[in-house]
């Protein structure tokens, strides 16, 4: 038994399986094995292993594989954020990611997690203020990213925090959703997307809904922080706590609805 965030484990596993698929262009078998290992002095560990017999990695690739934005798949196919996210998730859960790979032979990616005696539903490893969504700030959020894993991951994190999420794969779909759903409180968009970039989308949204906060999630730190159509920026890769903070800040920047002060009737 291991204490982990269920959604994030699912995303981590999905990332590893997609990498295994990408490594086997001609197809093949992907093995997913769950095992317990006795790794004293660190005690018992749960090993979740994804094994492929695909392209494998040479030493240079292997040594950089978990670096954020490192990809060999080309800018339109890879984000280079998959393994960095899996690595971050494992470390955050008190474990680690182990990669064994050989060029031409395949790869074995293992998430090692500390084993626990019994399920501990209360302890999420977060302080209560991190774990509990800020009350009154639960929102409907439109999330836009052309990479389906990043989109899924973002959606999982936001839903964990209690928000309602509408996912969109591109700017055009995002605008269509905005036309149909009028209770959207916040938009979080990727910057680098084909056809319509995040900033172009922000401009189009700002034109129609000038009060709607927009967070630009990007790895390009050279973009101006105070772009007129963007409320704030979120640097990729980010963890749940950073996302939570960015969302709370953006939501509290919204103009407050008119509150009619409650008055005691005059006697
Ligand atoms: N199972 C695998 N087999 C071969 N190479 C892999 C595997 N998993 C990851 N890699 C290498 O590590 C790089 C980084 O992986 P990742 O962080 O998931 O980003 P992305 O998949 O977007 O490229 C990949 O571009 C690839 O070169
Ligand atoms: Mg990947």
Nearest-atom number in ligand 1 for the CA of 15 is 18
Residue 262 within any structural domain of the chain: no
Nearest-atom number in ligand 1 for the CA of 78 is 22
CATH code where residue 166 lies: 3.40.50.2300
For residue 147, the enclosing domain spans 128-251
Residue 31 has pLDDT above 70, yes or no: yes
Residue 50 within any structural domain of the chain: yes
pLDDT band of 4, cuts 50, 70, 90? confident
Lowest-confidence region among 107-116, 138-147, 193-202, 213-222: 213-222
Q: Nearest C-alpha to atom 1 of ligand 1 is from which residue? A: 20
Residue 161 within any structural domain of the chain: yes
Residue 16 has pLDDT above 60, yes or no: yes
pLDDT of residue 125: 55
Q: Is the CB of residue 148 less than 8 Å from the CB of residue 139?
A: no
> pLDDT tens digit string along 197-222?
999 999 999 999 999 999 999 876 65
Residue 128 has pLDDT above 70, yes or no: no
Q: Which residue has the higher pLDDT, 164 or 49?
A: 49
> pLDDT tens digit string along 34-73?
999 987 677 899 999 999 999 999 999 999 999 988 999 9
Residue 145 corresponds to which tokens in the numbers above? 């990213």
Residue 119 has pLDDT above 50, yes or no: yes
81/146 same-domain check: no
In terms of C-beta density within 10 A (0-12 exposed, 13-18 middle, 19 or more buried), how is residue 223 classed?
middle
Residue 102 corresponds to which tokens in the numbers above? 């050989």
Lowest-confidence region among 64-73, 117-126, 257-266: 257-266
226/161 same-domain check: yes
Residue 154 within any structural domain of the chain: yes
194 Cα: distance to centroid of ligand 2 (angstroms): 19
Residue 257 corresponds to which tokens in the numbers above? 């609805």
pLDDT of residue 256: 55
30 Cα: distance to centroid of ligand 1 (angstroms): 15
Residue 122 within any structural domain of the chain: no
Residue 24 within any structural domain of the chain: yes
200/236 same-domain check: yes
150/60 same-domain check: no
249 Cα: distance to centroid of ligand 2 (angstroms): 30
pLDDT of residue 117: 78
Q: Which residue has the higher pLDDT, 98 or 267?
A: 98
CA distance 199 to 184: 18
Mean of pLDDT over the chain? 86
Residue 156 has pLDDT above 90, yes or no: no
pLDDT of residue 100: 98
19 Cα: distance to centroid of ligand 1 (angstroms): 6
Helices H / strands E in the chain, number of each: 8, 9
Nearest-atom number in ligand 1 for the CA of 71 is 25
Secondary structure string (H, E, C) spanning 176-238? HHHHHCCCCCEEEEECCCCCCCHHHHHHHHHHHCCCCCEEEEECCCCCCCCCCCCCEEEECCC
Q: Nearest C-alpha to atom 24 of ligand 1 is from which residue? A: 71
What's the structural domain count of the chain?
A: 2
137/216 same-domain check: yes
Q: List residues near ligand 1 (CB under 6 A).
A: 15, 19-20, 23, 52, 54-57, 61, 65, 70-73, 78-84, 107
- Asked if the bond preceding 170 is cis, omega within 30° of 0, the reply is no
Residue 30 within any structural domain of the chain: yes
């Amino acid at each position: 038994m291991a204490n982990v965030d269920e959604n994030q484990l699912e995303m981590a596993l999905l990332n590893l399986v997609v990498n295994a698929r990408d490594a086997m262009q001609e197809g093949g078998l992907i093995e997913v094995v769950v095992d317990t290992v006795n790794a004293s002095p660190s005690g018992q560990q749960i090993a979740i292993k994804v094994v492929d017999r695909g392209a494998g990695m040479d030493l240079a690739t292997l040594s950089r594989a978990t670096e954020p934005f490192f990809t060999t798949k080309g800018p339109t196919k890879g984000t280079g954020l998959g393994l960095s996210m899996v690595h971050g998730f494992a470390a955050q859960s008190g474990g680690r990611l182990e990669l064994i790979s050989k060029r031409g032979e395949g790869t074995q990616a293992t998430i090692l997690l500390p084993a626990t005696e019994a399920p501990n539903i209360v302890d999420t490893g977060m302080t209560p203020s991190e774990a509990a969504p800020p009350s009154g700030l639960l929102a409907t959020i439109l999330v836009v990213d052309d990479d389906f894993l990043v989109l899924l991951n973002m959606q999982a994190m936001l839903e964990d925090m209690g928000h309602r999420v509408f996912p969109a794969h591109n700017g055009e779909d995002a605008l269509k959703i905005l036309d149909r759903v009028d209770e959207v409180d916040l938009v979080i968009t990727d910057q680098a997307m084909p056809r319509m970039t995040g900033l172009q989308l922000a401009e189009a949204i700002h034109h129609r809904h000038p009060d709607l906060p927009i967070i630009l999630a990007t790895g390009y730190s050279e973009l101006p922080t105070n772009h007129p159509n963007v409320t704030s920026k979120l640097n990729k890769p980010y963890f749940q706590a950073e996302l939570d903070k960015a969302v709370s800040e953006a939501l509290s920047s919204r103009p407050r609805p008119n509150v009619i002060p409650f008055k005691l009737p005059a006697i």
